[in-house]
Structure 1
Amino acid sequence: MTKCHALYLACTAAIVGTGLGAAPAAAGPAPRAPHAIRVVLPGQSIQKAVDAAAPGDTVFLTPGLYRESVTIAKSGVTLRGAGHDTVLQPAPAKNKAANTCAAEGNGICVTGTKDHKLRGVTLTSLTVSGFTKNGVYATATDRLTVRNVTAEKNGVWGIATEASVRTLLRGNTARANGDAGLFLANTVKEEQGATDTRGTRVLDNRLEGNRIGVTVRRLRELTVAGNTMTGNCAAVFVVGDENKPKAGHVTVRDNRITRNNKSCPKTARLDALQGSGIVLTGAEDSVITRNVITDNVGGSPLSGGIVLFKSFVGTTSERNRISDNVLRGNSPADLVVTDTGKGNTFKGNSCKASKPAGLC
């Protein structure tokens, strides 16, 4: 008999020995069912496993190729792969009509609503590749985590969020996507003022070969830190416009931004891009600090190490603090200001050339 078993019997005997006249103990809460791990093999349906999952469950994808799009529409679910060898690619065309996520060209959709945000969803350790629109598309989420996901060769965005708060994007790789590797916005289809993300963090990601590494559009209270960005047309865009409240209160710090010299053609809303490190356009009260920005070279109006540029509708950037960055070999200059906004400051930066002169 083990010591634990003996103690259990002793406690039971003690309770019985107290006599039948003792008041019964109040019933405690029913024990919670253990969270399930639902294992999916290549050829099996990820969607069926997700639909069967309860909050707190993990759907684990073993290594292999999955030709499927997946919608997560309940809180607390984790979708976990086995690393780079777990790959999601588009389903055959005949299978797309039954799945809205697939029909819209996305790989993984995390779908809340305006009145019911999905909470605590996690995506981790897998690859989403070759979708005509987005690798991962999340809307109306709270505390979404996307970690160690590779999003590559998707037609628009690698990993995208809208109308979401307290998001963590960490340790992901986004490469060769048609637009932004990571895209974060208040809304995609509507016009409205910037929204407070309540501390969204974009940390330690690798972004390469995209049109833009990270786009932050019409948001506030967000941090982009510790990322490595190379080979994009532009590394970071912080974007605002005429809507109120204005975009801003974004911190961009401790990133390594080098040789983002891919050439991208002009679009309906943006000039051609090449050689842009960090671009602020129509943003306020943001902090750009301790970044290392080197060898970003191009002939676009948006080229340069750190660039302040009027927004598409002419809104200026104001009261932004650019400090303690290291800038080398950027052209036409390390610091470029064509914006007439007031209150922007440049202090402690290590750089050689600026337009206009005197900012270094």
Structure 2
Amino acid sequence: MPTRRVHHLAAAIAATTTALTTVLAVLGAAPAHASHSYGSLHVVLPGESIQQAVDAAEPGDTVQLLAGTYPGSVRITTPGLTLRGTGPETVISPAAAPAETVDAATPCAAAGHGLCVAGTDDRPLADVTVEALAVTGFRKNGINATGTTGLTVRATYVHDNGQQGISQEKSTRGVITANESTRNGQSGVFLANSVDSEGGALSTEGTVVSGNRLSDNRIGVTVRRLRDLTIEQNQIHGNCGGVFIVGDEGVPRAGALSVTRNRVEANNRYCPPNPRLDHIQGAGIVLTGAEETTVTENQVRDNVGASPFSGGIVLVHSVVGVANARNTVADNLVLGNGPADVADRDTGTDNSFARNHCAVSEPAGHC
């Protein structure tokens, strides 16, 4: 490699390191896992192929993207890989014309997603990190993960995608933290057992969704048919609905979750009905068909609407009529929501409500 090229890359990497440190400090995120620092570094400049660098990387390597726009989808199948940008100025967006780029031929692009992290049911893809980059403008999901374990998505800016911002299914031990996910067609963060099949809830073995800013989506966070995860300290506002915990008649039931210390405010956009659900507007935290979930120490304010889901913290039976069971709603600050701050519109009789600071409840007595 010519000396000039080496000097150029050294300066660029130094600038990238400084920019990334600043981005992570602003977002309150931890530095990249130390275990990844021992692999090789693959630097990608605008105009070069991210996919080629990812395909050339080995477990433990880092693919470092410099600031700029990178057209085309990217698919990661290498365990222990870190894909890192410099912050929102590193942008992955759709290719202008699929025939013009090899990256557009990936299965990820064919599915309409931006960045795919892809393992299998039999061999989950382990310990991938995606951080400090933007993903925008894709027909379906911005970041789409399936069959992963130990995936970290951190300090990303995922916006204006057609379906989910950050989606994870059939996965365990994930960490989704310090991201901004906005103006996506469905959820800012979407977690599920499977998007295309029925079945009982899967255990995520401790997945954490924390410290994210989720706004102007249909739903801020959707959890569908999962167990054993935590949603904490997120700022969720300006969506049609804030947090939806969704279960049904499948066994095991969805639940054993913690929704705690989130700020869920003014999620008052109007989203029209679809074949499965009534319209959504003014929904703060909604439990439907869930069990053994704790909703504690949240601030839920000014979520107002006239749908079956409207209100601050709402329990309602699932679309197939399954009642919520053995859930706890306690120690929340719930004010200015309508038609009620805390609403139990379900038929279950073993859910508990305690020490909530609120003004109006359905039925009375839950404040």
Question: What TM-score do the two structures reach when normalised by structure 2?
Answer: 0.88
Aligned to 2:154: 147
Cα deviation for residue 142 of structure 1 reads 0.5
Aligned to 1:65: 69
Distance 1:145 1:106 in 2: 18
Aligned to 2:14: none
Cα deviation for residue 93 of structure 1 reads 3.2
- Within a 5 Å distance, the mapping from 1:82-101 to structure 2 comes to 82-95=86-99, 98-101=105-108
- One-letter code of the match for 2:68? G
- Confirm or deny: 8 A CA contact 1:91 1:102 kept in the other structure: no
Aligned to 1:217: 224
Cα deviation for residue 94 of structure 1 reads 2.6
- Confirm or deny: 8 A CA contact 2:98 2:105 kept in the other structure: no
Aligned to 1:275: 282
Cα deviation for residue 68 of structure 1 reads 1.2
Distance 2:291 2:98 in 1: 48
- One-letter code of the match for 1:87? V
Aligned to 1:166: 173
- One-letter code of the match for 1:104? A
Aligned to 1:231: 238
- Confirm or deny: 8 A CA contact 1:152 1:177 kept in the other structure: yes
Residue 181 in structure 1 maps to residue 188 in structure 2? yes
- One-letter code of the match for 2:333? V
Match of 2:331 among 309, 321, 324: 324
Residue 333 in structure 1 maps to residue 340 in structure 2? yes
* Partner deviation per Cα, 1:127-147 (whole Å, 9 max, x = no partner): 000101000000000000000
- One-letter code of the match for 2:56? A
Aligned to 1:345: 352
The number of aligned residues is 328
- Confirm or deny: 8 A CA contact 1:173 1:207 kept in the other structure: yes
Aligned to 1:105: 112
Match of 2:85 among 81, 84, 92: 81
Consecutive aligned runs of 4 or more in structure 1 exceeding 2 Å deviation: 92-97
* Partner deviation per Cα, 1:290-349 (whole Å, 9 max, x = no partner): 000000000111100000001010010010000000011000000111101131000010
- Within a 5 Å distance, the mapping from 1:17-36 to structure 2 comes to 34-36=38-40
Cα deviation for residue 98 of structure 1 reads 1.6
Distance 1:192 1:74 in 2: 29
When residues 301 and 34 of structure 1 are mapped into structure 2, their CA distance, relative to the original with a 3 A threshold, is: closer
Over the aligned positions, Cα root-mean-square deviation in angstroms equals 1.0
Give the secondary structure class of the aligned counterpart of 2:53.
helix
Aligned to 2:136: 129
- One-letter code of the match for 1:247? A
Indicate the structure with greater helix content.
2
When residues 116 and 328 of structure 1 are mapped into structure 2, their CA distance, relative to the original with a 3 A threshold, is: same
Cα deviation for residue 35 of structure 1 reads 1.1
- One-letter code of the match for 1:41? L
Aligned to 1:7: none
- Confirm or deny: 8 A CA contact 2:41 2:63 kept in the other structure: yes
Give the secondary structure class of the aligned counterpart of 1:103.
helix
Residue 44 in structure 1 maps to residue 48 in structure 2? yes
- Among all aligned residue pairs of Structure 1 and Structure 2, give the percentage whose two residues are the same amino acid: 53
Runs of 5+ in structure 2 lacking a partner? 1-36
Aligned to 1:297: 304
Distance 1:195 1:290 in 2: 26
When residues 34 and 331 of structure 1 are mapped into structure 2, their CA distance, relative to the original with a 3 A threshold, is: closer
Aligned to 1:355: 362
- Confirm or deny: 8 A CA contact 2:108 2:115 kept in the other structure: yes
